[in-house]
Amino acid sequence: EVQLVESGGGLVRPGGSLRLSCAASGFTFSSSSMNWVRQAPGKGLEWVSSISSSGRYIYYADSVMGRFTVSRDNAKNSLYLQMNSLRAEDTAVYSCAKSLSAAADWFDSWGQGTLVTVSS
Amino acid sequence: EIVLTQSPATLSLSPGERATLSCRASQSVGSYLAWYQQKPGQAPRLLIYDASNRATGIPARFSGSGSGTDFTLTISSLEPEDFAVYYCQQRSNWPRTFGQGTKVEVK
């Protein structure tokens, strides 16, 4: 069974930093592209970032480009999101999601998410 | 950026009725469209990908159709567990984008 467990969320002041982690199990992590998706309280889904299985290809939403950095450690079956220069509008539940296949990054398994609150 | 517009925002139906949800893209996405279901407090669940392919374990009452810019998710006969919010998403272009969601509520 695929399991994705996020951690690292919390309360941070505007301009601060956080590093989110996603621990994966139940599938071949090193063969799977991975993604971060966020959902602000009471709002819809917003794609944040994607990283290929090797980490060679990385994509970001314009809203986080230059502030967030996605990475992975295939030896540890872990995905990360380094978030710098945080803003109030980054407040959301951040979820990691596994891609359906190498050729199709549909989000077929999701974690429950970790809440990031940016507030003074 | 490809904008996905879902309609209606809210659909009020009774169990057993047919639900028809629409997703319109601002430019062609070919068949690169998916549908997700999200219930309160839960992670989204992939229902349909590539416009018309049901994901693993998804009941046959869920079906997707369309290509280009106009897509439809149909739930043939609503079960109590189907009342939720539904999102469409495209993977034709970066950035990946979602629609704003359609809430299917009990009438």
pLDDT at A104: 84
A88–chain B Cβ distance below 8 A for any pair: no
Q: Å from B106 to nearest chain A CA? A: 19
Q: Å from B86 to nearest chain A CA? A: 10
pLDDT over 70 for what percent of chain B? 100
Positions in chain A short of pLDDT 70:
none
pLDDT at A103: 81
Average pLDDT, integer, range B25-54: 97
How would you write chain B as a 3-class SS string? CCCEEEECCEEEECCCCCEEEEEEECCCCCCCEEEEEECCCCCCEEEEECCCEECCCCCCCEEEEEECCEEEEEECCCCHHHCCEEEEEECCCCCCEECCCEEEEEC
Average pLDDT, integer, range B43-50: 98
A37 vs B contacts (CB less than 8 Å): 44
Encode pLDDT of B47-58 as tens digits: 999 999 999 999
B35–chain A Cβ distance below 8 A for any pair: no
Give Cα B92 distance to the centre of its chain. Answer: 16
